Amino acid sequence: MFRAVKTEKFFVFRFAGIFWKIFFCLFIFSAFFLLLSLLDLFSGIFALRMSIIFLALFLLFWELSLFSNLKLKSDNLREIDAELSDAVFAPEGYNFADFLSFEACKIVEGAVKFCRRRKIYEINSTSLFYSAIRNGKETKTISYRLGLNVRKLQEDSQNFGKNSKAG
Amino acid sequence: MESAERQNIFNTWFLWHFYETPKFLFSVWKNFIRFGSNYFSIPLLLKTFFSPWRRYRWLYPKGFDIVEFFNTLVSNTFSRILGSICRAVLITFGVIFQIFIFIAGIVVIIFWLFIPLIVIAGLFFVNYDF
């Protein structure tokens, strides 16, 4: 799963979701120009070339986006047969990181980085909370629903993290 | 190490694109066909094709009454004809729906398998001089 987090950070995978939408819109526009070229308003070859290029790029990024969302991000959870309760009772036989979802993995990785940057030698709940607010989409959604100011919450938890290190 | 990881990602993608997703699409296709079959109840409609419409049927007279007998016979026959017409309409809709699902499924699966080829051909097309 950590590999999936790393892969998702890769430029192509990270922006694939935006790119396929952009290229899809461009493809629709270029198809419209292709229709106009039938009325000799545009060069037919140019419009055709643009349509095909945008279609190819749309399909490429759509494929990458699907691969990232459907395979890389959700693969790990499907592969584990064991229950979390089994792992709790026999922790030596399991790697707990295997039970993390993609989102949770991103949060843990963010917390590890935060602690490393601040030279905090223990990944505490504050760093996890800070990372959850910063990197977790669902945490942000819950915070917004609760009417919390996410930015202020981020700053507060960051400051608390710094102070706890100093203390 | 990095190249091995990249290789691994390529293998993962290849397996996902050409095996796992088509398998999933086939299961979705099968579900749609099952849904169509259940929704329009085609097998049941075929089995009960000539059954009376909404089970409207009249009992034949017990004694010898030729007028009442033919009256009941005609009524029952009409009920069966009406039932078969309504069922034929539903079966036709069901069959059209199934044909549509069948063709759409084939198109989607073939399109999915050909996406990499379309992408490569499209990008090759950029450098092609007319």
The 10s digit of each residue's pLDDT in A116-130 is 887 777 777 888 888
A41-69 average pLDDT score: 87
Dihedral of the CA atoms A120, A108, A10, A119 (nearest 10)? 0
Classify each residue of B39-71 as buried b or exposed e, where b means 16 or more C-beta atoms within 10 Å of its C-beta.
ebebeebeeeeeebbeeeeeeeeeeeeeeeeee
Match 């078969």 to its residue by tokens.
B84
Q: Are A69 and A9 in the same domain? A: yes
Q: Do A52 and B115 touch (CB under 8 A)?
A: no
Q: Which of residues 89-118 of B touch A (CB under 8 A)?
A: 115-116, 118
Residues of B in contact with A67 (CB under 8 A): 13, 16-17
Residue A91 lies in a domain: no
Residue ranges per domain, chain B?
A: 2-126
Whole-angstrom Cα distance, residue B91 to residue B82?
A: 14
Q: Report the domain count for chain A.
A: 2
Q: Which residue of B has its CA nearest to A4?
A: B9
Task: Confirm or reject contact between B1 and chain A (CB < 8 A).
Answer: no
The 10s digit of each residue's pLDDT in B98-123 is 999 999 999 999 999 999 999 998 88
Q: Are A108 and A55 in the same domain? A: no
How many CA atoms lie less than 13 Å away from B6 in the CB half-sphere? Answer: 4
Mean of per-residue pLDDT scores for chain A: 80
The 10s digit of each residue's pLDDT in A69-103 is 888 877 655 566 667 777 777 777 777 777 777 78
Those residues whose C-beta lies under 8 Å from the C-beta of residue B82, and which sit 6 or more positions away, are B53
Q: Which residue of B has its CA nearest to A61?
A: B119
Structure tokens of A37?
């070229």
Q: Are A74 and A109 in the same domain? A: no
Q: Are A17 and A54 in the same domain? A: yes
Helix or strand holding residue A118 (H, E): none
Closest CA to A114 of A103, A102, A130, A125: A130
What was the ipTM of the complex prediction? 0.71
Q: Are A87 and A93 in contact (CB under 8 A)?
A: yes
Torsion angles phi and psi, residue B28, rounded to 5: -65, -45
Give the domain extent around A147: 102-166
Q: Are A19 and A52 in the same domain? A: yes
